[in-house]
């Protein structure tokens, strides 16, 4: 149990540091440190880095452009690096905690029903990502070609949202039923095994 508290305090202090510091090289150093921690605590670092890369490719140019429009370029560079190192640290934090561990930790702080909702969300995001991949494969099998301008590509991605959304809504009904059958939320308290 103390291990997860150590992890939490470590990452929270790193997040606070990124908020305080304005030095670019230090910020980059902190994000590298958080990645090293992530390597120590969890095994699937590769998935995280791919996910992070996809996320940052969109956010970094957007932030740079928006910030330079409102202030000047120097400020913009510092702000984007600050933001991206913040996201690196928080991504590393999410990937370091196992689901059960996070549930236990969160239910010390919040009521356990609320904690479980957060944990369930994170877990099902992963499942939804898998479903997205499968659906786009199916669309390809039906002769759809992912070509055209940037806007067209985004529009074709929007087409995927309806099946993903409907399927996860239908799944939610089953999850509710399963939780009910395991007596989740029967009492205000709950014991934790291990």
Partner 1 sequence: MQRVNSLIEVKNLGFGYSRKAVLKDINFSIKEKEATLILGISGCGKTTLLKCLTGVIPNIIEGSFKGNVIVNGKNTKGLTKIQNDIGIVLQDPETQILTTKVSDELAFGLENLCYNKKEISKLVKKFAKKFKLSKKLNYDIKNLSYGEKKKVIIAAMCAMNKKLFLFDEPLANLDIEMKKEIFRLLKHLKKEGKTIIVAEQNPCVLQSLFDKCLVLDKGRLVYDGTVKEGMEVLKELTRHERVHKTLPENDYVLEVQNLSFGYGRKNILKNINLKIKKNEIIGITGENGSGKTTLALCLCNLLKKKNGRIELFEKRIEEYSAKEIAEKIGFVFQNPNFQIFKNSVINEINYTPENLGKSLSNNEVNYLLQTYNLSHKKNSHPFSLSLGEKRRLTIASAVSSDPDILILDEPVFGQDPYHFSRILNSIMGKKTILIMTHEESLLRLTNKVYQIKNGKLVEKKCGRAM
- What is the binding site for partner 1 (CB under 8 A)? 98-100, 120, 127, 131, 134-135, 137-145, 159, 162-163, 166-167, 170-171, 173-187, 189-194
| Rounded CA separation 9/15 (Å) | 10
Query: Shortest Cβ distance from residue 163 to partner 1 (Å)?
Result: 6
The nearer residue to partner 1, 60 or 118, going by C-beta atoms, is: 118
**Cα distance between residue 115 and residue 118, in whole Å:** 5
The residue (of 19 and 186) whose beta carbon lies closer to partner 1 is 186
SS (H, E, C) 41-84: HCCCHHHHHHHHHHHHHHHHHHHHHHHHHHCCHHHHHHHHHHHH
Tokens in use for 57? 């490719």
Least separation in angstroms between residue 48's CB and partner 1 is 16
Q: What is the CA radius of gyration of the chain?
A: 20
Q: How far is the CB of 117 from partner 1 (least distance, A)?
A: 12
Comparison of 62 and 122: residue with beta carbon closer to partner 1: 122
Q: Give me the least distance between CB of 80 and partner 1, in Å please.
A: 34
Q: 91 vs 103, which CB is nearer to partner 1?
A: 103
Of 114, 120, 122, the C-alpha closest to 188 is: 114
């Amino acid at each position: 149990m103390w291990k997860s508290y150590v992890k939490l305090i470590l990452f929270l202090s790193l997040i606070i540091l990124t908020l305080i510091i304005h030095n670019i090289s230090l910020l980059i150093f902190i994000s590298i440190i958080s990645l090293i921690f992530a390597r120590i605590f969890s095994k699937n670092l590769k998935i995280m880095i791919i996910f992070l890369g996809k996320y940052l490719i969109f956010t970094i140019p957007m932030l740079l452009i928006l910030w330079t429009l409102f202030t000047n370029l120097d400020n913009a560079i510092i702000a984007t690096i600050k933001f991206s190192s913040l996201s690196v640290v928080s991504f590393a934090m999410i990937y370091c905690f196992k689901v059960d561990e996070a549930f236990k930790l969160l239910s010390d702080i919040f009521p356990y029903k609320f904690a479980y909702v957060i944990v369930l969300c994170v877990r099902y995001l992963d499942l939804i990502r898998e479903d997205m991949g499968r659906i786009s494969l199916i669309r390809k099998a039906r002769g759809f070609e992912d070509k055209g301008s940037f806007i067209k590509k985004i529009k074709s991605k929007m087409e995927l949202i309806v099946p993903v959304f409907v399927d996860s809504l239908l799944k939610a009904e089953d999850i509710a039923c399963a939780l009910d059958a395991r007596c989740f939320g029967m009492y205000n308290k709950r014991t934790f095994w291990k």
